[in-house]
Structure 1
Amino acid sequence: MDLVRRDGAERSQPYSYSVVGFLDSSQEIEYVQCRGRCQHDEKRIGCHLDCYSSISIETFSQTYEVTAPDFEPSHIANCQRSRWLRSWLASIIRRATHSRLPLEVCSDIAVRALDQQTSRRMAVWYAERKCGEFARNVSQVALSKKIYVRYAYFEGTRYIARLTNAATNNRDILVFDPLSQTPAARLYVSSDHLGIRQLLFVNSSSKPAIIQEPDVWWKTICLGIAWGLPQAVYKHVRLEPLCNAELTYRMSVVPCNHPTTTAYSLCWNQSILTLHAHTAGENFDCYHELRTMDESALWFYMPLRVGEVVTEIWKCDGSLRSAIALLLVTNRERSSYLGVQPQQGWSRSKWTLLDRPTKSPSTIYLMKTALGSLLGFESPKPDDHNPSPRVGWPTSSYPKSRRHEYFAWTSAKLDDVVDIIPCRRYRQGSKTISGLLLRYIDGQQACVGQIRLDQLQNPICVDRDCKMWFEFSLTSDGPIVSGIEQSREAPSLSKGENWFRVDWRGDLEWWYSKRQCQLSHQGRLSPETMQ
């Protein structure tokens, strides 16, 4: 990575990028990333070495002005960008061969040609060409006249290039007419990290049907009344911080107690990153957001029963006033602890009641930052008559751990289980079983370990005449579950492996961290974790 002045005329020595910081070995100066918005003078821009070497100093400033993101895009946005780059290169190859090659062959060539370095160089080349078409200008439009927009495309995405009251050709599209029979009272503006995508002028009675998209954020502007002083046009949202972070003012929506909600998931990676409401037939984009892709991210899953709704939401704080877990309490007098366990020596009583949702559908707002998340609620702050909720704590001891290693704990009954669904993930290139989704004879579900719906395997029907055997592999980071079998007798062992027997009765406890796990059943423990 290079640090470059905005005019591109001065660059630093190369550094290895890290979100923590980096060291200038020549001057023995340590640089750290600003927490939140940078307020310093003489800002520098971080650029890949091959990106900066591919662009001329003359065009750097203009290219940066167009492509500089307002916020760090998610992993999903970067994947969409890579897919577009491959399709764009495939179209160039097809034109160059005068359509003699099938599109599938051109696409395959593009995939093979675009390694990481080539992708960056192609992206810079494309950006230089496109940015030459854009001229920066500031203009005004009158709301008393018709308003037209002109669009521009960048990396396959449509953005608004300009607004005007006078259309010059058919490229200018009408979006607002002051003489319309349904006068507009609000303006909805959608944008992503690069620019404005859409303007919607609507009246006060209409609510456009919009599907929430990753990295696309909406703002509301009131048009109905002219005030002598600026007035708030947004609904009041009560923010509850889960970590010490600067506000980003980008709020995503989490449905609460919606009839289509089947489960909730929470992701923790040094702080609570996201809360997600699952629905039947959904895609799994929630698992591919920034930082949740890291192997150190821990996922927690709470399946819902028929007619079950959340009635209380609590947070549990750790030692540094940062939430380590949320507790969701339901109308079935059931509570699910979603987060890491308090470490030895920590208090278990640092609880705060965040909200008491009604049984009818409502909305939880989620503000994501680089350091964690904040939750937002439309309801007033609830009265906290009880100092702490009822929580099921582990019966087994906290496993051995390294400094700053956090363990999560889950438990489930094994009686009346009819089938199990392993959750298998890749860790450092090897397959491991991170958890089990259990289904019972009455149709209910529970889970132990870490569950991600995009990593579930085929169900295994339970044979109650057999025992369940967990295959443990001993790695340099500690023991992990590498396999599972049903058998009357212990399966044969390979070098460096152990089998842990579990009968189909009692409770199974599953401890896990980002690098190792430990099971407990009827007083017996699986291979001991490592410090």
Structure 2
Amino acid sequence: MAEDDDIEHCCVEAPHCRLCHFQLKDGELVVAAIRVDRVSTTFAFRRHDTFEDDEEGIAIHLCGRSLCQKRGRRLPCFHDECYGFRPLPITSKFLDATEHRFGPPLRERSRRRGYIQHTFANKLKLGPLKQLHMEICDIVAGYLVRECAIVTSQELALSDNSIDSLVELSRDIYARYVSIEGIPYVQALYNVSPSEGEGLRVFKARRGCVVRSIYVKYDHLGIRGVHFDLPRDGPLYSSACGVWWTELSRRNGILCFTAKTDGLKIRDLLDSTDAPPKRNSIVPAPGWPMPGLDCRVIDLKTCQVMRGGLSRIRMSSFDCNAPGTKGYLVGIFGLRLSKIYAHHPGADLPCRAELDSVRDPTVWVYMPIDPDEYLEEVWAIWHPSFGCIALMLLTNAERVVLFGAYFPNTGLKFHRIYATTNRPSRVYFNECDPDNDVPWIKYLAFENSEVDIPSCSGTNYKTQYPPSLIPASPPPYTMSTELWYYTGCRMENVAEIACCVDDGKATYKPIVGMMLYYKDGRRSCLGQYRPDLALAPLRIDTAGLLRIRMQKTTERYPCVAEVRVQGTADLDSSCWINIPWHGKLEWWFSSRQCTLRHFG
């Protein structure tokens, strides 16, 4: 066994196989490339663990994050079966051409798997399995998705059709594309006439024309499109999964640029108007879900408007006050917000797998929006030690919901960062890399707002919670590091209750929250709530009691095990809470337990 001083510490460069490019799952057998022609001993992948290969004298950390604290060399990692199957040697060109700049979203990963399987099934039906039903071909293709992905990507990487090129805007510009698993990417940009080469003309030069911005559409693999005028309509504005826009800008105009490739397709554009030391690249520029946006960006750490320095981030968005909005769903990871979704009619929330993929322990808080109700204000709550700890959303119906942990008032500052009227708008937030980032929304951006830059005075600043968020009971005291979240609502005029169940637990399925439906059509939420985990509503009997059975989890933490909406208090009072249909019910919860209290 190697001495500790002789062990080289490394980390895998990404938590996916660098041959098939599917995620590495815990327990799968993998190998890591130690050198070009040598791999480690086969071992079982366990995310964030460390594998020590005594034969090679190397310790491999398995987080796959770009900012791994172990540092050292970053090693490509492969499924053991994929590495054994590879039809061609693994070259640096192949690794460069297939590198992910950031982790693609779950929906793109699902689309990719489906495309590969469907394409190969069609080939089987037209070839060796043409006598069989298409369903059989699809089943067979499902077992060979990884192998198909490896063969296709290695064959594509053999191409020598993409090289760095200097492109002048005083001449027409043509583009050539390459299709990778159903997605077209820009393979080359060049100045030639149609008689000298094949390609699609993407820019027609005009005398006296000054191009100040080049709009670039890209994803984790490369550039999908280049536009020299701001796109106005059509599919350019579609919310394609995992696609962002950025731009290469120069106030006095861009004369020429360099298209940088990875050997297969274009990865970057470089402003070559100036000498090399002053050249500007699109890589550090922020990415947006639409081109040409001019937004005010709020740094939630300081609750101030950003004055530059916003780089290497990608911004996603949700539609605010769209017609018929049902509500807003927010994922909270400790002291930070991790996801924000708007719930609209006819448009389901992201699939359950995507919501479940958000890093544990995430809690989910839902803000229902009733008919004729709309979002009016967004407030950021700032703590002197932790920065922004929560967002507070207010509606025209005086509904106030706290998205974040509850802290006593001491030292808190409330900044109004957004105000609007009943008109549709978009709110932008930084997208977290599922492979690299801790889920943390650090920035919010707004296209337009009724408020000025946040300040520490006037109507845009407060120092205490509004009355509806002042609980009748103090936060439960457990551990000093355990964060508690607060919800509460009135119990009068309730017509139905829908329970939300966390069925992801292995040994029990606690009720983590409830939606209350009132007789006048209004709704309120208690505890955690995700619409995709909600049970059918139960009609209540106001002549009886709301009865809630508490029990201990396997870790001995209290949780809600059962809810009954009719009957009398004739059960064992040691585990049942009997609540009348009046007064206020408060539901405190953390990521592992909850407590309920009734007043009035």
TM-score relative to the length of structure 1: 0.81
Write the letter of the residue equivalent to 1:84: Y
Map Cα deviations across residues 269-324 of structure 1 (whole Å, 9 max, x no partner).
Answer: 23211222332221322765487534522111112244444443233356852533
Aligned to 1:529: none
- Tell me, yes or no, if structure 1 residue 463 matches structure 2 residue 502: no
**CA–CA distance in structure 1, aligned partners of residues 88 and 135 of structure 2:** 38
Q: 1:267 to 1:171 in 2, by over 3 A?
A: farther
Aligned to 1:353: 415
Q: 1:475 to 1:134 in 2, by over 3 A?
A: farther
- Conserved 8 A contact 2:538-2:565: no
* Aligned equivalent of 2:364, options 299, 302, 306: 299
Q: 1:361 to 1:486 in 2, by over 3 A?
A: closer
Write the letter of the residue equivalent to 2:589: Y
- Conserved 8 A contact 1:150-1:162: yes
Alignment of 1:218-237 (within 5 A): 218-222=245-249, 226=253, 235=294, 237=296
**Structure 1 residue 240 displacement after superposition:** 1.1
Q: Which moved more, 1:210-219 or 1:54-63?
A: 54-63
Aligned to 2:221: 194
Aligned to 1:159: 185
**Structure 1 residue 216 displacement after superposition:** 0.8
Structure 2, unmatched stretches of 5+, are 1-29, 255-272, 286-291, 304-308
- Tell me, yes or no, if structure 1 residue 383 matches structure 2 residue 450: no
**Structure 1 residue 242 displacement after superposition:** 4.7
Map Cα deviations across residues 112-134 of structure 1 (whole Å, 9 max, x no partner).
Answer: x36xxxx5454333322332246
Q: 1:374 to 1:15 in 2, by over 3 A?
A: farther
Aligned to 1:411: 488
Write the letter of the residue equivalent to 2:114: R
Map Cα deviations across residues 118-176 of structure 1 (whole Å, 9 max, x no partner).
Answer: x5454333322332246441123333343333222222222222223344699733333
Q: 1:82 to 1:403 in 2, by over 3 A?
A: farther
**Structure 1 residue 58 displacement after superposition:** 3.0
Alignment of 1:330-479 (within 5 A): 330-342=395-407, 348-359=410-421, 360-369=423-432, 370-371=437-438, 372-378=440-446, 380-385=452-457, 386-391=461-466, 392-399=469-476, 401=478, 404-429=481-506, 430-477=508-555, 478-479=557-558
**Structure 1 residue 415 displacement after superposition:** 0.9
Aligned to 2:389: 324
**CA–CA distance in structure 2, aligned partners of residues 65 and 28 of structure 1:** 24
- Conserved 8 A contact 1:312-1:353: no
Aligned to 1:255: 319
Map Cα deviations across residues 230-278 of structure 1 (whole Å, 9 max, x no partner).
Answer: 8998736333135999953211123334445442221112321122233
**Structure 1 residue 456 displacement after superposition:** 2.6
* Aligned equivalent of 2:101, options 63, 70, 76: 70
SS of 1:202's equivalent in the other structure is coil
Map Cα deviations across residues 179-198 of structure 1 (whole Å, 9 max, x no partner).
Answer: 69x99875432111111122
Structure 1 vs Structure 2: percent identity of aligned residues?
25
**CA–CA distance in structure 2, aligned partners of residues 397 and 193 of structure 1:** 47
**Structure 1 residue 28 displacement after superposition:** 9.3
**CA–CA distance in structure 2, aligned partners of residues 41 and 136 of structure 1:** 32
Write the letter of the residue equivalent to 1:383: S
**Structure 1 residue 69 displacement after superposition:** 0.4
Write the letter of the residue equivalent to 1:88: T
**Structure 1 residue 25 displacement after superposition:** 7.4
Aligned to 2:590: 513
- Tell me, yes or no, if structure 1 residue 9 matches structure 2 residue 37: yes
SS of 1:427's equivalent in the other structure is coil
**CA–CA distance in structure 2, aligned partners of residues 57 and 237 of structure 1:** 49
Q: How many residues in Structure 1 have an aligned counterpart in Structure 2?
A: 509
**Structure 1 residue 367 displacement after superposition:** 1.1
SS of 2:565's equivalent in the other structure is strand
**CA–CA distance in structure 2, aligned partners of residues 189 and 503 of structure 1:** 59
Q: 1:277 to 1:81 in 2, by over 3 A?
A: same
**CA–CA distance in structure 2, aligned partners of residues 169 and 509 of structure 1:** 74
**CA–CA distance in structure 2, aligned partners of residues 435 and 472 of structure 1:** 13
Map Cα deviations across residues 85-133 of structure 1 (whole Å, 9 max, x no partner).
Answer: 332342343234442222223223444x36xxxx545433332233224
Q: 1:247 to 1:160 in 2, by over 3 A?
A: closer
**Structure 1 residue 71 displacement after superposition:** 0.7
- Conserved 8 A contact 1:242-1:322: yes
Write the letter of the residue equivalent to 2:463: S
SS of 1:285's equivalent in the other structure is coil
Write the letter of the residue equivalent to 2:299: E
Write the letter of the residue equivalent to 1:390: Y
RMSD of aligned Cα (Å): 4.0
Q: 1:248 to 1:437 in 2, by over 3 A?
A: farther
**Structure 1 residue 418 displacement after superposition:** 1.5
**CA–CA distance in structure 2, aligned partners of residues 106 and 428 of structure 1:** 36
**Structure 1 residue 70 displacement after superposition:** 0.6
TM-score relative to the length of structure 2: 0.72
**Structure 1 residue 401 displacement after superposition:** 4.4
SS of 1:124's equivalent in the other structure is helix
Q: 1:96 to 1:426 in 2, by over 3 A?
A: farther
Structure 1, unmatched stretches of 5+, are 524-531
- Tell me, yes or no, if structure 1 residue 501 matches structure 2 residue 532: no
Q: 1:236 to 1:446 in 2, by over 3 A?
A: closer
**Structure 1 residue 476 displacement after superposition:** 0.7
SS of 2:391's equivalent in the other structure is strand
